[in-house]
Structure 1
Amino acid sequence: MHAVVAESDGAVIGIANYLLHENTSALTPSCYLQDLYVDPAARAQGVGAALLDWLWAQTRAQGWATLYWQTRENNYRARALYDRYTPHSGFLRYVLRTPQG
């Protein structure tokens, strides 16, 4: 797991947690953005976009195959940001949980 933070006046105002993993569809790792969070007081100021831009630049510079993430269908605020980067992939997510999950 990796993280990058956005700061303002020495305070963390945003964080992106991501991980790299191998896959069967590419020869280089993929980057999964597990969590993108921006402090409510700092939202709509470009913080989320700056974190995504940094991670996309890293993806290209490191030669990773893809950068991808997911969000809830009804998370319209996040989707407004994400839709500026790429259209929805059309995939649905299915989850089986153990008792510990």
Structure 2
Amino acid sequence: MADGRVELRNYKSGFTSRWGVDVYFQPAENALQSDDKTLLRNLLRIGWSVHDHPIDGGVSLVLEDAPGVDLAAVAGDDDLPPFTANPSLPGELTVSSQDMSQAFGQWPGR
């Protein structure tokens, strides 16, 4: 890892509110070119361990300073929980709270 940070986010819609986590990261050079998905899995675990508010809005990984990299293509389906990706934001992917719970146990993860 070259750099990273975690941000708790709150989505409000009318009278409802959902909490989620964004994990921003900048990998070391060539870190995403290997078949080892340990980095992505560990970043998801970090997001799932944030315990300021119950996480019901999922965990998002956000790749920084790597234009043109499709994070969903890098992640594939190797040993990661199911995720969604937005084609217009190729450096991001999101795992729902339900899938995080199935992959890493009940919130907050350890």
TM-score range, shorter chain: 0.3 to 0.5
Which protein has greater RCO, CA pairs closer than 8 Å, 6+ apart? Answer: 2
TM-score after normalising by structure 2: 0.44
TM-score after normalising by structure 1: 0.47
